[in-house]
Chain A
Amino acid sequence: GENVEQHPSTLSVQEGDSAVIKCTYSDSASNYFPWYKQELGKRPQLIIDIRSNVGEKKDQRIAVTLNKTAKHFSLHITETQPEDSAVYFCAASIEGGAQKLVFGQGTRLTINP
């Protein structure tokens, strides 16, 4: 089955700097890769997703890149702000049908003022 590894487990950056979180997956059939943000005590919320027919997707300060050959994808946050502090999870699945997401272990991102 699918296995998703996420690094780093913790990340601390200065406000205004960029943050990058990386994930690798094992199943070449996976073609849907969402990223979730979870604030303390709250539910995970989808912030961006990418499908395997594109290599990059941007939404304001957030971007995700995908390398299908190497089976890895990354989340990039630019111009970080204190409200970006949270735990971020990557996931992988085959889109459609059951779409059983397999999650990475999570990255705790701290933005230092």
Chain B
Amino acid sequence: DAGITQSPRHKVTETGTPVTLRCHQTENHRYMYWYRQDPGHGLRLIHYSYGVKDTDKGEVSDGYSVSRSKTEDFLLTLESATSSQTSVYFCAIREPAGGGNEQFFGPGTRLTVL
């Protein structure tokens, strides 16, 4: 599983509350990504990181922020959750220290915003 975990795995929250999802990797991958998966849309990139403190937007970044203060952790924050952010969130990693170009996905976090 490429040493990638996500927490929490499931979360139910209310509209307007802040939510932070965590992605943790153990193999020193340079790139980390956050995707959301919704029926009929496949997976869509929210934000990605190419190093500590280096992040950039993806195609559906509105309403989300990210931070990467350590190589191993990439956090996704919903400042004020909305029902449209109910989704399954996947983290992905790429380019370990030994090289390689494939993206490997974490187990996912199912978020429900009521």
Contact = CB atoms under 8 A, between A and B. Distances in A.
Contact of A100 (B41, B45, B104, B105): B45
Interface in A93-107: 95-96, 98-106
Given A43-B108, A98-B48, A100-B45, A34 B102 contact: yes
Instruction: Classify chain A: how many residues form its interface, as a range.
Output: 20 to 34
Contacts of A34: 102-103
Say what secondary structure dominates the interface of chain B: strand
B56 A105 contact: no
Contacts of A96: 101
Interface residues on B, range: 20 to 34
Given A1-B59, A89-B43, A98-B56, A46 B50 contact: no
Interface of B: 31, 33, 40-45, 48, 50, 56, 58-59, 90, 94, 101-108
Interface of A: 1, 4, 6, 32, 34, 36, 42-46, 49, 89, 91, 95-96, 98-106
